[in-house]
């Protein structure tokens, strides 16, 4: 009946949801300046399976999924690689 909880699960999470805002911009500006740039950078990642994005007004949301055969250490390294991109 009870399931233990861990802050960091023992299995790798291969999905990331990214959100970014560009205040005082139109949806088109957000798509061009934020969404497209993020998706282009994501193409440089190893183990990328697919990306999907939504842009609504000033807010860009990008869903990222790594391929199923990505191992736990590779997942950690891939997410860290993305965080280090500028």
Q: How far apart are CA 16 and CA 53, in angstroms?
A: 12
Superfamily of domain 15-84: Multidrug efflux transporter AcrB pore domain (3.30.70.1430)
What are 48-76's pLDDT values in tens digits?
999 999 999 999 999 999 999 999 999 99
Length of the chain: 86
Q: Is the pTM of this model over 0.85?
A: no
SS3 40: helix
- What pLDDT shows up at residue 85? 83
What are 17-28's pLDDT values in tens digits?
999 999 999 999
Place of tokens 């950690």: 76
């Amino acid at each position: 009946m009870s399931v233990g909880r861990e802050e960091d699960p023992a299995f790798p999470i291969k999905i990331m949801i990214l959100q970014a805002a560009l205040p005082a911009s139109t949806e088109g500006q957000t798509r061009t300046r934020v969404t497209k740039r993020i998706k282009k950078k994501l193409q440089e990642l190893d183990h990328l399976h697919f990306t999907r994005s939504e842009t609504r007004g000033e807010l860009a949301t990008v869903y990222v999924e790594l391929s199923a055969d990505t191992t736990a250490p590779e997942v950690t390294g891939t997410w860290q690689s993305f965080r280090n991109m500028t």
